[in-house]
Amino acid sequence: MLTCREARSLLSDYLDNDLDADEVAAVDAHLAVCDSCPPLDKATVAVLAVLRRLTPPTGRPEWIDQVLTTVAATQPTRPPEGSPK
Ligand SMILES: [Zn+2]
């Protein structure tokens, strides 16, 4: 039987399906009998769900090029460092 500490150290990988079958079974067995870990499990699931939504998309959206073009076009309006005021 895993200790709470051991179960919690595996929880992130457990939720990511990165554990082997024996480890999954050990975490499942611990969560089934432990009073304190299942709420943490639920909280971790919620946090991971939020983090996954925050993961930036791969590739470069068109708006980035538009922003860069706009910024490049507006740069010369600012005087260079050290110029008289
Ligand atoms: Zn526990």
Residue 82 belongs to some domain of the structure: no
Classify residue 85: in a domain, yes or no.
Answer: no
- Structural domain tally of the chain? 1
Q: Which residues are placed with Cβ below 5 angstroms of ligand 1, an ion?
A: 4, 34, 37
The Å distance, Cα 34 to ligand 1 centre, comes to: 5
83: in domain: no
Burial class (CB in 10 A: 0-12, 13-18, 19+), 69: exposed
The one-digit pLDDT tens for each residue of the chain (85 residues) are: 899 999 999 988 998 899 999 999 999 999 999 999 998 888 888 888 888 888 676 777 788 888 888 888 886 666 667 766 6
In a domain, 81, yes or no: no
Reported pTM = 0.55
Domain for residue 80, yes or no? no
Q: Which of 51, 6, 54, 59 is nearest to 31 (CA)?
A: 6
Q: Is residue 84 part of a domain?
A: no
Q: Ligand 1 centroid vs 25 CA: distance in angstroms? A: 14
- What is the residue-wise DSSP string for 18-65? -S-HHHHHHHHHHHHH-SSHHHHHHHHHHHHHHHHHHSPPSS--HHHH
Domain that holds residue 58: 4-73
CA of 4 to the centre of ligand 1 (A): 4
